[in-house]
Amino acid sequence: MIDTIQSLQRDAMADIQAAASLERLEELRVSLLGRKGRITELLKGLGAVDMAERKTVGAAINALKQDAADAIESRRAVLMDSSSVLARPLDVSLPGIAPLDGGLHPTIQMMYDLNDAFAALNFDVFEGPEISSELYEFDHMNFPPDHPARESMDTYWLASADRSGEDARGADRLCIRPHLTGGSVRYMQRHTPPFRFVYPGRVFRNETTDARHERAFFQYEALIVEKHLPFSAGQLLIRTVLSTVFGRPVRTRMRAGFFPFVEPGFEIDMECVICNGAGCKVCKQVGWIEVMPGGMPHPNVFRAGGIDHNAWMGFYVNVGLDRLVMMRYGIDDVRLFHSADLRFLSQFR
């Protein structure tokens, strides 16, 4: 009798552990503990057992009954957990779980908006490689050979481009682009003027990061080349950029500025959008904020692009896109853009 009980215990426990569904578990419960279940039948047969053994056998059957009931309950808890959605009755009045939907990064969204605005004015949208070279980024851009921006303090040079034993100066050392303007020569070399294009992209500088500086950031460049380029064409570029970013016309002014690749060069200021020119902390009380450099391509830049500087005129602007997006949304730390912090990013969906 004890052997029978022990063998039933082994089988019952194995079956319960193997039960893969709540239905199967319920079948097992009925077959073991139901009115005609095997354990119930054993208890019913207790009267036929010898008086000498009855106490021991009865205790063993009761222990089996308790073990089987416990095992069924704990197996039920496991199955309920793993199929909780199906196991629970459906309550259609509960609020649903919203799927996590993505969105465009605010800088990328702004880039697309600008591309659309310029495409409507017949501009090409140009893309260049992030890995570039000293030839395109500095030599073609009319940077003097000893210009400090060439040094690793500002520019990330690629290790594979280190040609030891060779005079690296003048050889085409590779770097990740420190500005977009270098890539514009690639466009000039492949196209015959007149043309107009915009050129969005990420650039890299070896800088210490703080609230206003990142090692990787976005620029947005535009260049028009025409036979006779009225100065108002430059102002059209500036106005299109700023009114697209801020959603309204923004007043601007130009000051003389020096950059190797433009002659003449300008610093373009816009009226502070926070205080509308009255003076505030953001604009350091002057009412104007420096937003972009611009100017006419230097004859050496045109030469590198295969364009006759006596026959053609051009106008560049180069926008620090992250800065403008920060101003538009009142973001005070550029490092948030690369933080991948969903609490920050989800505000722009």
Give the interface with Zn ion as residue ranges (CB under 5 A).
Answer: 272, 274-275, 280, 282-283
Which of these, 317, 311, 294, lies nearest to 192 by C-alpha position? 311
Helices (H), the chain: 2-18, 22-33, 38-44, 51-82, 84-87, 106-119, 134, 181-190, 231-246, 299-304, 321-329, 342-345
Residue 123 beta carbon to Zn ion: minimum distance, rounded to whole angstroms? 31
Q: Which is nearer to Zn ion, 156 or 288 (CB)?
A: 288
Q: How far apart are CA 39 and CA 19, in angstroms?
A: 18
Q: Which is nearer to Zn ion, 114 or 272 (CB)?
A: 272
Residue 291 beta carbon to Zn ion: minimum distance, rounded to whole angstroms? 13
Is the distance from CB of 285 to CB of 297 less than 8 angstroms?
Answer: no
Judged on CB neighbours under 10 Å (0-12, 13-18, 19+), 50 is exposed
Is the distance from CB of 178 to CB of 149 less than 8 angstroms?
Answer: yes
Angle at 201 between CA 198 and CA 206, to 5 degrees: 135
Q: Which is nearer to Zn ion, 65 or 328 (CB)?
A: 328
φ/ψ of residue 344, rounded to 5? -75, -50
Residue 281 beta carbon to Zn ion: minimum distance, rounded to whole angstroms? 7
Q: Which is nearer to Zn ion, 33 or 275 (CB)?
A: 275
Question: Nearest-CB residue to Zn ion?
Answer: 272
Residue 148 beta carbon to Zn ion: minimum distance, rounded to whole angstroms? 32
φ/ψ of residue 184, rounded to 5? -65, -25
Q: Which is nearer to Zn ion, 8 or 274 (CB)?
A: 274
Helix axes 2-18, 51-82, angle to 10 degrees: 0
Residue 330 beta carbon to Zn ion: minimum distance, rounded to whole angstroms? 12
Residue 250 beta carbon to Zn ion: minimum distance, rounded to whole angstroms? 12
Q: Which is nearer to Zn ion, 203 or 326 (CB)?
A: 326
Q: Which is nearer to Zn ion, 135 or 282 (CB)?
A: 282
Residue 335 beta carbon to Zn ion: minimum distance, rounded to whole angstroms? 23
